[in-house]
Amino acid sequence: MGARRRWTLEEKQRIVAESYSGPRLVSVTARRNGLSTSQLFTWRRMARDGKLNGDTAPALVPVEITPAAAPISSDTPQPASSPPAQRARTGIIEIEFGGGCRVRVDRDLDVEALQRVLELLRRR
């Protein structure tokens, strides 16, 4: 059995575009390019969902672990995005984007809301 073929993003995009052009059948386009029809249908679905445009976030990103911030004193005004002073600061994750944009979440986060926020920030 041969080695598994690695397709570049540009190749995938070209093949998907070819499969949509003219009266061609997906199976003909797949066969001409040496891949299975199921693989081509997967790429077409990914393209439709915006996952084949090269804007995907990296799978691994640098992480920096810093000491926990000192508790905020009660007489200092807190920004609206800061957690209340009495709340425990354990389990807080800080996600920093370019341009000084920073998101802090703790263990009680709403995962779907965080996904929406991160997606919007990634597009900026």
Does the pLDDT of residue 116 top 70, yes or no? yes
Per the prediction, the chain carries an average pLDDT of 76
pLDDT tens per residue, range 55-109: 655 556 666 677 666 555 555 555 555 555 544 556 778 877 776 777 888 877 7
Q: What is the mean pLDDT of residues 29-45?
A: 93
Tell me how long the chain is. 124
From 12-26, 36-50, 74-88, 106-120, the region with the lowest mean pLDDT: 74-88
Give residue 86's pLDDT. Answer: 46
Q: What is the pLDDT of residue 37?
A: 93
Are 13 and 52 in contact by the 8 Å Cβ rule? The answer is: yes
Q: Which is more confident, 14 or 1?
A: 14
**Burial level of 16, CB count in 10 A (0-12/13-18/19+)?**
buried
Q: What secondary structure letter does DSSP report for 66?
A: -
Distances (CA, A) of 117 to 42, 55, 111: 27, 16, 10
> Exposed e or buried b for every residue in 91-115, given b needs 16+ CB within 10 A?
eeeeeeeeeeeeeebeeeeeeeeee
Backbone φ and ψ of 94, nearest 5°: -115, 125
- Structural domain boundaries of the chain? 9-48, 58-124
The structure tokens 């995938």 sit at 12
